[in-house]
Amino acid sequence: MATWKKLLAGGGVLLFVSWAYFQLNDTDALPWVALYGATAVASGWLVLRPMPPWIPGLLGLIALVWAGWIAVDIVRTDGFAYVFDHFLEDDGERAREMLGLLITAVWHAWLENTCRHHAGRARA
């Protein structure tokens, strides 16, 4: 695997470990720490050795469905403008949670693509 991909995945480890750490003081910390921690582990795994693509695929799907669940709740209760109007305010927590989950889903899409590309090159 290319060095830049290993460096990027290593940066993902640091990013998602820090995100998991910042969730520790939250009242509902467990699911967030679990997802961000699993994302950090998957990123580190990619640095060290090939990983089955279904692992980041599944984690990305979980993040995407969870973000969709929050988005539906936001639109149903506050309207979509809430996301933009309250993002930086104290009551914008759901919008920030949704964005974090979307970033996580995109990250897992990159991990999965990298795993598939690496597996394809190993077979050739």
Q: Render pLDDT for 52-78 as a digit per residue (tens, 0 to 9).
A: 999 999 999 999 999 999 988 888 877
The sign of the torsion formed by the CA atoms of 116, 118, 122, 124 equals positive
What is the rounded average pLDDT for all residues in the chain? Answer: 89
Q: At what angle do helices 29-48 and 3-23 cross, to 10 degrees?
A: 160
CA 21 to chain CA mean position, Å: 14
Binning pLDDT at 50, 70 and 90, where does residue 124 land?
very low
Q: Which of 74-78, 85-89, 100-104, 119-123 has the highest mean pLDDT?
A: 100-104
What percent of the chain clears pLDDT 90, i.e. is strictly above it? 69
- pTM of the entire predicted model: 0.86
Position 82 scores a pLDDT of 65
